[in-house]
Structure 1
C-alpha cells in the first residue's frame, strides 16, 4: 500500500469499541502503531473533531492527524438515478483533503477527518444480496446502458480511503465478480496503487476536474489538475471505465476562457481509447452560508470565488438544508454555454447530465 504521508500523519485514532473488535479495525490500527487510541462511544459525537466551531483554527491539522474508526449502524442502499442507479452504504465518510466547497462538513461538523467503518464484511454481504436481487438491467438509462451502477463514495474520496484500509479494494473486488453491476466513485486524488487492481471494467472512476487557476484556490490538499488529467489514460489502460466529473462549476469572471482551455487540454492529452469510452457529468456550485462563515476562519481567499451573493439565490436541499445556488436564468444560460463548449472542444465526451 502506498505511503500515506504527508496527506495523512495519523497520531490519534478515535475508535468505537465494536470497531476495534473487528478484523478490519485491527488492521487499520496496526498501520499506525504509534498512534494514540482514544475510545469513543460514537463516531458521530467527538467534540475534539466534530461540531465545535473553534476547530476551524485546526482545520487541516485535524484532517492530517486524526482518524475515526467506527461501525456503520445503518447498512442500506438508496435509489439515486442521476450519477448512479443506487447509492451504496458508505464504508467511510469525511476526507483528508479540504476542498473549500465540500458539503460533508455541513452534515458532520467542521473539519470532519476520515471516519472508516470496520464492518466491511456486513456491508459487502448486503451489497452482494442487493446486486443479486436486481437481476439483469432491462433497459439502458443515463447511469449506464447495461449495468446497475452503485456509487460507493458518496461521502468520502475512495482513492484516499484506499490509503487507509482495504475497504475500497474489497468493494471493487465484489463488483469485479458482478457481471450485472459496476462500482462508481468520484475522486480528486490520484492513487496509482489502484492501477494494479485489475477491475475488468466493473469500476467507474470519475475524475473531478475544473480549470487550473480555480482549483489552486478551492481544491486544497488534492492532486493537482494536471496530475489528474495525466492519470486518465493510465486508468483506462488498467481496465477502469473513466468518466469526468466537472464539479463544481464556479462562475468566475474568466470561466468561459478557463473551461475552453481545460477542454482543449483534455482533447490533446486523452488517448483514442480513453475518448471512446468518455462521458461526463456537470454539477454547478451549491454553497451554504454556514460553511461560508466557517471557511472565512481558515481559507477566506476561497470564499472570494464561492460566495457571490449578487449571482446566487436560496435553494432548499433534499435534506432540508438551506443552501445557495446560481440564480435563474443565469445558471440555465451557463449550463447551456458549457454544454456547447464541450460539444465544440471535446466532442468525444458525452454529457450524462448537467444541473
Structure 2
C-alpha cells in the first residue's frame, strides 16, 4: 500500500474555512504545481484554500515543471496556461540588488510570472513559455530580509530621481502585484511591512485595478505606478489587463486610501499617429484626475524594448501585435542592465521621441513631473 502524499495530509477543511474561493476572470485555476514545503506552509495552505477545486501536482522544484518550462507547445495555449495554472515554491535566494532608475533597490520577489499577457512583457524571456504566476510561500523570510536591509541603510542622505526622502524598493519586478494580491496575502504583507518603515517605500507597476488593495493601510509608504498608454495601443498589446480608462479612474481612490500614485507612460510605441494619441491621453489625465492626485504624481517614460526571442514567441500566439512591436527599420540591438540582448529604438529615433513626448507633457500635463525617461 502506497504512503499518503504530503497533499493528502494537508488539513483541507481547516485551510478552506479560512479563505473564500477566488472568483475572477483572470484566474480559473485548474492545476497547482507545488513544492512539498511550499504546499505545507501557512501561505501555501492559503493559496490552496483559495482554489479548492484545483488539482495539486507535487514537483521537486518550481523551476523544474516540464509541462511549463521550455515547452514550446505552450505557445498555442499561452493565455489558457496563464489562466488555469499556478505554481507554489520556496524562494531559495533572498537578496536585494541595486537599481537606481525607477527604484533604489529591487526587492526579492514574493512571486513571479503573471496571469496577464502583455505582448511586450520581458518576463517570459527569462522563464520559458507562458509563465503563469509562481507564489513564493516563505514570505516571512522575504519581509525579514527587507526589514534588515532598510535598517542597515538608515535614513536616505539626499534626494534622487527615485524619491526625495525615502529609499524605494521595487517589490514587483517580475510580475504584477495587483494580480498577485488575489492569489495570496504576500502583497498585503509587503504593504504592511513598509507602512512601518519611515525611511523606505514599496513600489510596483500595475496594469490591473484590484480594489481589494484599497482595504489595506499603506500610510503613504507604498507607491503604485499605474501604467498607461493610448487605448488603441493597449487594446492590441495589453492583453487581459484593465482598460486604460479604468486605471486612470482608479488613481484618485488609491490616493484617498493612502497610496502614493505615480504613472508609467509605458511602453511608448512609435507608429503612425502616436503623437496625436499620446496628446489625447495626456489631456484625459488632466481632465480626469483630482487636484490632490495630480499634486503628488510623477511619471516614468519608458520607450518600447523588445526581444527577438519574444518576437518569435508572439508570432505563435499574437502575430498582430508584432506589426507594431517589431520595427527593424527603427530598432537596433542593445544589451540591457541584466545582460539580455534586446531590441530598442535607435538612439537618434529614441532621443527625438523622448524629447517630443516631454514637450507634449509640458504642454498638456504641465503638473506631471517626469522622474526619468529611457
Normalised by the shorter chain, which TM-score bucket? over 0.9
Partner of 1:241: 260
Partner of 2:242: 223
Match status 1:211 vs 2:258: no
Partner of 2:7: none
Match status 1:336 vs 2:355: yes
Query: TM-score normalized by structure 1?
Result: 0.98
Distance in 2, matches of 1:180 and 1:117, equals: 26
Corresponding residue to 1:290 among 298, 309, 312: 309
Partner of 2:165: 146
The range that moved more, 159-168 or 196-205, is 196-205
Which 5+ residue runs of structure 2 have no aligned equivalent?
1-19
Partner of 1:310: 329
Distance in 1, matches of 2:199 and 2:340, equals: 35
Go from structure 1 to structure 2 and tell me whether the alpha carbon gap of 1:239 and 1:2 turns closer, same or farther (over 3 Å shift).
farther
CA-to-partner distance for each residue in 1:56-110, whole Å, 9 max, x for gaps? 0110000000000001110001111110111100000000000000000000011
Match status 1:66 vs 2:85: yes
Corresponding residue SS for 1:19: helix
Cα deviation for residue 53 of structure 1 reads 1.0
Partner of 1:122: 141
Matches within 5 A, 1:90-105: 90-105=109-124
Match status 1:32 vs 2:32: no
Match status 1:280 vs 2:299: yes
Partner of 2:4: none
Matches within 5 A, 1:320-331: 320-331=339-350
How many residues are paired up?
355
Go from structure 1 to structure 2 and tell me whether the alpha carbon gap of 1:4 and 1:351 turns closer, same or farther (over 3 Å shift).
farther
Distance in 2, matches of 1:56 and 1:232, equals: 34
Distance in 1, matches of 2:255 and 2:50, equals: 30
Corresponding residue SS for 1:329: helix
CA contact 2:21–2:51 (8 Å) conserved in 1: no
Cα deviation for residue 318 of structure 1 reads 2.5
Distance in 1, matches of 2:305 and 2:39, equals: 37
Cα deviation for residue 4 of structure 1 reads 4.2
The structure, 1 or 2, with the larger RCO (C-alpha pairs under 8 Å, 6+ apart) is 1
Cα deviation for residue 3 of structure 1 reads 4.2
CA contact 1:2–1:193 (8 Å) conserved in 2: no
Partner of 2:40: 21
Corresponding residue SS for 2:224: strand
Query: TM-score normalized by structure 2?
Result: 0.93
Distance in 1, matches of 2:31 and 2:21, equals: 20
Cα deviation for residue 2 of structure 1 reads 9.2
Which 5+ residue runs of structure 1 have no aligned equivalent?
none
Cα deviation for residue 33 of structure 1 reads 1.4
Distance in 2, matches of 1:13 and 1:329, equals: 47
What is the root-mean-square deviation in Å for CA atoms of aligned residues?
1.0
Match status 1:179 vs 2:202: no
CA contact 2:31–2:86 (8 Å) conserved in 1: yes
